[in-house]
């Protein structure tokens, strides 16, 4: 398992006096008697500069395989990593015969490597849940998060900077893990849009005493009702949101663990793509799963479009401080790193649409919704969670 950089996380909601604490990079050995993964091993291949313009064919092949897994060909499935010109499929044991046609179809597009996984995703998630339950029971404890290694070799525990790695008190698990120091995250012209509202605009929460701004995510639909997606920590069910002087809508559904919120609105199938003051919009053609090694973009109301966000991991559970002053646990966050060393988000970018360009069509594919930032790293919830949690689909544009 590769050594990870520690991350000091803050939320992207605009709040007074928002600070960006700095974490130190250190991987520690687990406490005596715990299962310890190797300190170094698999690394997601870093993308070449020539490949950053897009990986349409690689993502197309990855989606064929991932869809087959979602449809039941999942026994032994570990993870999918995408590289500049290939798909790496980690699998425990031999892939089932039911996956054969999907593999053949994907291999007609790009190279697909089937690599051995020490554990299946199901096995790792079951053990991550053991740790997550312990974290939820004590959100002030030394362990603040657990994530799954991209090569399915074990887990990574995020621990507080002042924690003693030999005295974590975590429950026994049956898979190896390493530890990584991390600060506790704080859940954190686009400015004046008109209906139908696009993704990437300012959404200002009107709750008394906690007024702050976030960013609208993708316009979505369910049963012929339109909504805007945004980050769950941006409000509660019933919270009213405005864009400038216009009332956009009031939230009706929330998934706290996945940090997602639905706001009924006159929403469009477009997102802003460009600087903060841009008037440029792009239509949405659909959604896709997120793969380790992906290169995605965000479109926040504060930061504008930030490209070259490299997907490096999946955080199964993480302690955060929300805008109401509570310590809570969110789950299934995707970890990215900005390849140029830039800060990928700022206060007010929570909920921002995460996307990839759809080839050279001038349209985009929905990938997720922004939650938190730490230095050059951005965390987001995959769009697939919104599909499962709320039964929505992106509005086509």
The pLDDT score that the predictor gives to residue 28 is 35
Q: Are 170 and 177 in contact (CB under 8 A)?
A: no
**Cα-flanking dihedrals φ and ψ of residue 303, to 5°?**
-95, -15
Is the omega angle on the peptide bond into residue 196 within 30 degrees of 0, that is, cis? yes
The CA–CA distances, whole Å, from 254 to 96, 117, 231, 323 equal 37, 35, 9, 15
Q: What is the DSSP string of 118-171?
A: SS-HHHHHHHHHHHHHHHHH-TTSSEEEEEE-TTSS-EEEEE-TT--TT---PP
Digitized pLDDT (tens) for each residue of the chain, 397 residues in all: 333 333 334 455 543 222 222 222 333 333 333 445 443 478 888 888 766 666 789 999 999 999 999 999 999 999 999 999 999 999 999 999 999 999 999 999 999 999 999 999 999 999 999 999 999 999 999 999 999 999 999 999 989 988 888 889 999 999 999 898 887 776 654 555 678 989 999 999 998 876 678 999 999 999 999 999 999 989 899 999 989 889 999 999 999 999 999 999 999 999 999 999 899 999 999 999 999 999 999 999 999 999 999 999 899 998 877 666 678 899 999 999 999 999 898 888 999 999 999 988 999 999 999 998 877 889 999 999 999 999 999 999 9
The CA–CA distances, whole Å, from 284 to 260, 357, 396 equal 19, 9, 5
Based on the number of CB atoms within 10 Å of its own CB, is 250 exposed (0-12), middle (13-18) or buried (19 or more)?
A: middle
Residues 158, 359: Cα–Cα separation, whole Å:
36
Enter the tokens of residue 299.
């479109």
Helix, strand, coil percentages in the chain from 3-state DSSP, rounded to 5: 15, 40, 45
Among the residues of the chain, which ranges form H helices?
56-70, 100-107, 121-137, 383-390
Q: Are 10 and 23 in contact (CB under 8 A)?
A: no
The pLDDT score that the predictor gives to residue 23 is 29
Enumerate domains of the chain plus CATH numbers. Answer: 197-394 (2.40.10.10)
Enter the tokens of residue 201.
């605009």
> Which has the closest alpha carbon to 139: 275, 325, 315?
325
**Cα-flanking dihedrals φ and ψ of residue 378, to 5°?**
-120, 140
The pLDDT score that the predictor gives to residue 36 is 53
| Residue found by looking up tokens 């199901």 in the block | 122
The pLDDT score that the predictor gives to residue 17 is 22
The pLDDT score that the predictor gives to residue 43 is 86
For the packed helices 100-107 and 56-70, what is the interaxial angle rounded to 10 degrees?
Answer: 180
Enter the tokens of residue 97.
């015969």
**Cα-flanking dihedrals φ and ψ of residue 315, to 5°?**
-90, 110
Q: Are 189 and 354 in contact (CB under 8 A)?
A: no
**Cα-flanking dihedrals φ and ψ of residue 148, to 5°?**
-105, 130
Enter the tokens of residue 245.
């002087």
> Helix (H, G, I), strand (E, B), or coil: what is residue 49?
helix
Enter the tokens of residue 293.
């090694």
């Amino acid at each position: 398992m590769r050594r990870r950089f520690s991350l000091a996380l803050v939320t992207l909601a605009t709040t007074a006096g928002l600070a960006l604490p700095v974490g130190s990079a250190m991987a520690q050995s687990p406490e005596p008697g715990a299962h310890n993964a190797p300190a170094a091993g698999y690394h997601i291949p870093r993308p070449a500069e020539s490949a950053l313009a897009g990986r349409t064919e690689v993502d197309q092949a990855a989606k064929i395989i991932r869809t087959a897994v979602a449809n039941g060909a999942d026994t032994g499935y570990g993870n999918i990593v995408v590289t500049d010109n290939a798909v790496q499929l980690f699998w425990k044991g031999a892939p089932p015969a039911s996956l054969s046609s999907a593999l053949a179809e994907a291999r007609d597009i790009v190279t697909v490597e089937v690599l051995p996984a020490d554990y299946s995703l199901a096995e790792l998630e079951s053990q991550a849940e053991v740790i997550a339950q312990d974290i939820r029971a004590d959100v002030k404890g030394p362990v603040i998060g657990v994530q799954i290694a991209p090569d399915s070799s074990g887990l990574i525990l995020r621990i507080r900077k002042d924690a003693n790695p030999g005295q974590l008190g975590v429950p026994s698990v049956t898979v190896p893990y390493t530890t990584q120091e991390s600060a506790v995250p704080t859940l954190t012209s686009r400015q004046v849009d008109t209906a139908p509202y696009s993704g990437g605009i300012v959404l200002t929460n009107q709750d008394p005493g906690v007024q702050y701004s976030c960013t609208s995510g993708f316009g979505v639909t369910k049963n012929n009702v339109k909504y805007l997606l945004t980050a769950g920590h941006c409000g509660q069910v019933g919270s009213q949101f405005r864009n400038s002087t216009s009332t956009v809508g009031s939230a009706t559904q929330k998934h706290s663990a996945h940090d997602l919120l639905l706001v009924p609105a006159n929403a469009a199938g477009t997102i802003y793509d460009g600087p903060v003051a841009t008037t440029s919009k792009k239509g949405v053609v659909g959604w896709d799963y997120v793969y380790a090694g992906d290169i995605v973009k965000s479109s926040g109301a504060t930061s504008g479009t930030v490209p070259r966000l490299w997907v490096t991991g999946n955080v199964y559970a993480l302690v955060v401080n929300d805008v109401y002053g509570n310590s809570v646990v969110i789950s299934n966050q995707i970890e990215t790193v900005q390849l140029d060393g830039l800060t990928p988000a700022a206060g007010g970018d929570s909920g921002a649409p995460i996307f990839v360009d759809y080839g050279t069509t001038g349209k985009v594919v929905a990938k997720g919704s922004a939650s938190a930032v730490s230095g050059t790293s951005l965390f987001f919830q995959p769009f697939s969670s919104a599909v499962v949690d709320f039964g929505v689909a992106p509005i086509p544009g």
